[in-house]
Amino acid sequence: MQIKDSMKNLPENILKRCWELHMANVILTASDFSTSFQIFAYQPFPTFQLLSLTYHNALKLFPYKLNNFYGYNIRTLPDLSEPLTIAYRNANGELVLVYHAASGTITKHS
């Protein structure tokens, strides 16, 4: 009985692992795909959502998922000078950018 229950969650577990590995576009086909046309995919934003879809020729298998993050927080670099730029918040909560240049250190408070 326990094996059957774990198999029930297998598509979700596989796709959650794919998201952990930063793979945005993944589909799984069911073992009986040739008769059921069932595929599994996921929507990562704002929280992981398993999608069970029936394949048809108008279905877009790999929709662009990065045009709306639905409020999901992402980490970005403060500029294109990594690793020379460091961003942090000071004791007052102000954002501080520190740029280490060959001629010295430039600090900008935002």
Q: Do 47 and 7 have their domain in common?
A: yes
62 part of a folded domain: no
pLDDT > 90: what percent of the chain?
38
Top pLDDT among 5 and 83 is at: 83
63 part of a folded domain: no
pTM tops 0.75 = no
Considering only CA atoms, give the Rg of the chain.
22
**Residue 98 structural domain:** 75-110
Evaluate if residue 1 carries a pLDDT over 50. Answer: no
Query: Which residues are CB-neighbours of 32 under 8 A, at least 6 positions away?
Result: 38
Q: What is the overall mean pLDDT for the chain?
A: 81
The average pLDDT across 79-96 equals 77
Cα 73 to Cα 34: distance, rounded to the nearest angstrom:
39
